[in-house]
Amino acid sequence: MMESTNTSFPDAGSSHVGGRAQKRRASGSQKVESPQKKQKPQPGRPCTRSQKKGKASVADGDNTPEPVGTTLSTTTLSPPSSQPPISSKIRAALCDSVEYWRAHQGGIQSNDKIASGMLLNGKTTPRDVIQAQVIVTTVGSGLKLGTDRKRIRTEDQKTTSKNYVALKNSMEIGKPIGIVVGKQAETKGHYTNNLLSVELINHYNVLDWFFITDIWSERQPTQRDGSSYMQYMVRLQSIQLDSHPWWLPQGQERANAHAIGDFHCRQFICQSCDTLSKEIFKEGWCCLKDTCSKFFQFSNADIDFNTLRYNENFLNERKQWISKAPLQKLVPELPIMESEHYGSESKFKRGIVCPTCKFASRRISWEGWKCENGCGFELSMIPRDVPMAQIHEEALKTMNKKHRKFYEIDARIGCASHNVAGYEVTSFYLPNTPENLKLGKAKFIGSVTIFRPMKSTRERKDGLDDLFQEIQKATRVGDVKLQRHPAFCRGSHMEELTSHFSCNMGADYKFGVVVETSNGFDTAPDPVMKALSRLTWSGAAAVALTADHVRACKLSVDSDSMPGNFIDFNEQLMLGYFQDSQISFHDDGEKELGPTVATLSLGSPSLMRFRGKKKAGFENTIGSDNVMLSFVLEHGDSVIMHGTKIHQHYEHAVYAEGVRRYALTCRYIRPEMIPDLERREKAIVNGKVPTYWQKQAYRGESTEAVYTV
């Protein structure tokens, strides 16, 4: 049965004219579906409400407000009737593998203010429902941490809520919503979802495609602090009513399964606001318009809001899904590298769904995918070599986007240019903190020097173009094994990987992300050693140039931070960037590091930014996030940071601007600062440059170059 657009609470005063029901205002509310005896609603009891208000915050999808007395089920759960179409132990793996739910944080995935996915995680509210074909849950968001460090609502939810807007927009266009169910800790090491009566093996599981049928406002059950506020609820219905609900126990798959027209939920018009509201509760009808003076008031004044339950007609009503767009596949197909692809485009860094066991798996290896469930499935997709013509095209596009500006700097940063054979060299001098300057300390605490090669330097035999091709070959044939590593929450279901791939050679280096050393310099591939040699030369040249400039211009610098001598590097970290990869703001301030860090950029251009740390106190910077220095790194550029206090007061980030970039970064690891004796001895051995490579050391582009190793 199709619902009427003009239905209201049963009223003997309503009448039918020409076969159509006509509404008429009364003291309570009225219905126009059938002439029945008028039922006059009586004022209900006002809700208890906390007087304390605070700024709304976004819920993270893993925490919902718990009402008084909430406990999680400890009963033995049945196995599900079948396997989920997609599941994962790690949230990020599922987010990487599907388009409709990529919410690494939060419960709602939306693009352009239109929701496409929703997470129903562990702890829920008492009125939430998951059936074979229907889901009822809160819209979410707007919660704050209470005094017990758990989330709680402190004010009525607003229609400006991000989640509300996204879900409302999706309802209006019939946007399919991919539903994911998760589970939360019940006790240490034991997880559950208290809406389901089946055991979930994995933390995150895809249900099916649903669409939104209703969004309404209601009073929430009483919270832990005794308060209750208005919140928005959403009802979703399965798009394919004949689909198999795997999340129900075996033998109960068709429980609450109904067809369109089997049930119809009555609607009534509120006499106070003249607005239609469905009769959604078993306990009776109430107005669901939150701005109405009779909002959420029942004819029975003794109704307990904490025990309200949705009525069967509301839950069992079925609607036809209407949308202009066809329904996409719930399980994405495996990626295919076509002839026009290089294999490092952004889509190839996404995860996959294992066709064997339906497990969502991240791309961890540069060479391709391996099922993280351990079933043995592998999909090899080694990136193809990117030609220099593509790199040049990307560089031109990036510089045009930056209006041909090589760099942007804060007025407090010093700048100097130098002439070195084969290179254009620019040095930036980073200022001390405002507080330290007030105390009369040195004006500058570090330098950032960029060596930009001439065309001839790049294109000559064994030049930087050739080195780029050698690095590509090394990663293609497996001489260098690049992998993504855990960035935080290592080993947990919230683990996140780095955006880039990496491999460490020489002495061990742990920069927040643990990257095990794969080779000492004695067994490192040739292109790695060539890059080390170039960076050792440019590092020494940068330190010498800085010292000369400081003396010539009588600059006030922190000599403890910026010593005048250079120490040869004993470690190299290679990073590989796919399209749209990045390394977010960080510092290289580990105590084991020497004062100089040098990076050679090969391949696609990138944007490097330096910003003052919050505690540094810099204000009125050139951009948002306290950015004070920003410059483009092109193929063949080297950047050298010199000064230990750079990492105390500044952070830097790099954003790839093309389809393939390698960053080879060298440091000096101070063995004496490594407390573990075995690791210290290993660092000394692995970081020693073989005699052959010492004899083959790069000495610049001219025999007349002043700065040689």
DSSP string covering 481-547: --B--EEESTTSTT-EE-SSEEEEEES--EESEE--EEE-TTT--HHHHHHHHHHHHHHHHHHHHHH
Quote the tokens at residue 441.
């300390």
pLDDT at position 67 is 45
pLDDT at position 190 is 62
**Does residue 219 share a domain with residue 253?**
yes
pLDDT averaged over 10-residue windows placed end to end, the chain, 709 residues: 37 31 36 37 36 34 43 66 96 98 94 96 83 95 83 90 96 97 72 83 96 96 89 97 94 92 97 97 96 95 93 98 92 98 98 98 98 98 98 94 84 94 97 96 98 97 98 97 94 94 89 67 97 98 97 97 97 97 91 95 97 90 84 98 97 96 97 90 95 95 47
Quote the tokens at residue 353.
């769904």
Torsions phi, psi for 47 (to 5 deg): -75, 145
- 177 lies in which domain range? 87-263
What is the H or E stretch that residue 682 is in? helix 677-686
Overall residue count recorded for the chain in this entry: 709
Residue 345 covered by a domain: yes
Tell me the per-residue pLDDT of 37-57, one tens digit each, with 9 for 90 and over: 333 333 333 333 333 333 333
Which residues, in sequence order, are CB contacts of 73 under 8 Å at separation 6+?
A: 186, 192, 194
| End position of a domain, from candidates 201, 233, 263 | 263
Number of domains in the chain: 4
Residue 55 covered by a domain: no
Torsions phi, psi for 509 (to 5 deg): -140, 125
Strands 151-153 vs 177-182: parallel, antiparallel or unpaired: unpaired
**Does residue 258 share a domain with residue 193?**
yes
Q: Name the percent of the chain in helix, strand, coil, to the closest 5.
A: 20, 30, 50
**Does residue 495 share a domain with residue 372?**
no
**Residue 462 class from Cβ within 10 Å (0-12 exposed, 13-18 middle, 19+ buried)?**
exposed
Residue 62 covered by a domain: no
Nearest to 531 by CA among 695, 665, 683: 665
| End position of a domain, from candidates 383, 415, 441 | 383
Match 């003009």 to its residue by tokens: 6
What residues form DSSP beta bridges with 519? 505
What is the H or E stretch that residue 211 is in? strand 204-219
C-alpha span between 374 and 370 (Å, rounded): 8
C-alpha span between 126 and 109 (Å, rounded): 24
Instruction: Find out whether 652 is annotated in a ligand binding site.
Output: yes
**Does residue 418 share a domain with residue 394?**
yes
| End position of a domain, from candidates 289, 316, 343 | 316
**Does residue 377 share a domain with residue 411?**
no
Mapped onto helix, strand or coil, the DSSP state of residue 471 is helix
Mapped onto helix, strand or coil, the DSSP state of residue 207 is strand
Which residues, in sequence order, are CB contacts of 479 under 8 Å at separation 6+?
A: 473, 525
**Does residue 179 share a domain with residue 98?**
yes
Q: DSSP characters for 160-204?
A: T-HHHHHHHHHHHHT--EEEEEE-EEEETTEEE-TT-SB--SSSE
Residue 287 covered by a domain: yes
Nearest to 383 by CA among 108, 666, 658: 658
Taking the CA atoms of the chain, what radius of gyration do you get in angstroms?
32
Amino acid at 490: R
Residue 205 sits in a domain whose CATH number is 2.30.280.10
Which residues, in sequence order, are CB contacts of 163 under 8 Å at separation 6+?
A: 59, 107, 108, 110, 115, 139, 140, 141
**Does residue 405 share a domain with residue 377?**
no
Buried b (16+ CB within 10 A) or exposed e, 19-29: eebebeebebb
Q: Provide the 10 A C-beta neighbour count for residue 666.
A: 28
Nearest to 504 by CA among 375, 327, 693, 665: 665
C-alpha span between 287 and 294 (Å, rounded): 6
C-alpha span between 545 and 416 (Å, rounded): 10
C-alpha span between 436 and 229 (Å, rounded): 49
C-alpha span between 206 and 183 (Å, rounded): 12
Residue 174 covered by a domain: yes
Residue 27 covered by a domain: yes
**Does residue 481 share a domain with residue 423?**
yes
Torsions phi, psi for 666 (to 5 deg): -115, 145
**Does residue 532 share a domain with residue 436?**
yes
pLDDT at position 75 is 58
Angle between helices 464-477 and 388-401 (to 10 degrees): 110
**Does residue 259 share a domain with residue 269?**
no
**Does residue 583 share a domain with residue 506?**
yes
User: In terms of DSSP H, where are the helices of 309-454?
Assistant: 312-316, 388-401, 434-438
Residue 79 covered by a domain: no
Residue 555 covered by a domain: yes
Instruction: Find out whether 649 is annotated in a ligand binding site.
Output: no
Quote the tokens at residue 250.
């075996």
**Does residue 552 share a domain with residue 426?**
yes
